[in-house]
Structure 1
């Protein structure tokens, strides 16, 4: 699995988080929606399917754009104040929800790289459960950072930039390292099992 494939799925959400602010969230939503279309249309043309992450982004950012067009400023104030928190919660729910229903969102990207014969193997399933849980945890952390800044007056530089960026970098590194580690571990365990003498009949 290429780490870039998964990371690209998060680009619209990252764009929104970086650009969104009290007076810019509408433009951030539009930019994120355009990014979502750019990323999902090629997949749809090629296979008539898109990832759950892209689908959620298309719906979420399209709804935000429509709300920005049809509602007045006073009605939109709660969204303006909590735009980044809302997006972090939505993406965390999508990621962890896909894990809860047994369809980790990372499988969509993994299947582009892995041959079909491994899609139902325990190692493939394990890798995608771990990576989906990892990325879901990253955005839960981001949501908690947004809460810390918005409701408890924590440092915006630390909680809106340093911690989220470090968390994403760590997740990218683990996404790159863990699949090969899991495969090596599975091969080692298989070799160990093969080398064990057969059980003697009683």
Structure 2
């Protein structure tokens, strides 16, 4: 699995999180929607399917853009004030919801790299459950950071920038490392099992 593929799926949400503010969230939503469209089109043209991340992003950011166009400023104020928190909660629900439903969202990207014969193996399933849980946890952390800033007066630079960026970088690193690590463990386990099942015969 290429870690870049999974990371790209989160780009619209990251763009929105970075750009969105009390006076910029509408433009951030439009930029994130266009970004989602650009990312989803190649998959749709190739296979007539898109990832759950792209689908959620297209729907979520389209709704925000429409709300910005049809509602007045006073009605939009709660969204303006909590736009980043709302987006973090939505993407965390999408990621962890796919895990709870038994369809980890990372499978979409993994199947682009792995041959069909491994799609139903325990290792493939385990890797995607772990990575989906990891990324869901990252966005839960981001949501908690937004809550800390909005309601507890926490330092904005630390909780809106440093912690989320470090969490994303760590998740990208683990995404690149863990699949091969899990595959090596599986191969070692099979080797030990075969050695136990077929002990060497005495000379």
The SS at the match of 2:103 is coil
Extract unaligned runs of 5+ from structure 1.
Answer: none
RMSD: 0.9
In 2, the alpha carbon distance for the partners of 1:194 and 1:64 equals 56
Deviations 1:106-160 (A, max 9, x none): 0000000000000000000000000000000000000000000000100000000
Match of 1:130 in 2: 130
| Equivalent residue runs for 1:38-53 within 5 Å | 38-53=38-53
Count of aligned residue pairs for this structure pair: 199
In 2, the alpha carbon distance for the partners of 1:12 and 1:28 equals 9
Match of 1:111 in 2: 111
In 2, the alpha carbon distance for the partners of 1:197 and 1:103 equals 34
Extract unaligned runs of 5+ from structure 2.
Answer: none
Deviations 1:24-77 (A, max 9, x none): 000000000000000001100000000000000000000000000000000000
Displacement of 1:197: 4.0
Name segments (4+ residues, structure 1) moved above 4 Å. Answer: none
In 2, the alpha carbon distance for the partners of 1:198 and 1:2 equals 36
Match of 1:189 in 2: 189
Pair 1:32-2:25 in alignment: no
| Equivalent residue runs for 1:1-202 within 5 Å | 1-197=1-197
Deviations 1:166-198 (A, max 9, x none): 000000000000000000000000000000046
In 2, the alpha carbon distance for the partners of 1:188 and 1:47 equals 35
In 1, the alpha carbon distance for the partners of 2:148 and 2:92 equals 17
In 2, the alpha carbon distance for the partners of 1:188 and 1:101 equals 30
The SS at the match of 1:49 is coil
The SS at the match of 2:23 is coil
TM-score, L = length of structure 2: 0.97
Displacement of 1:2: 0.2
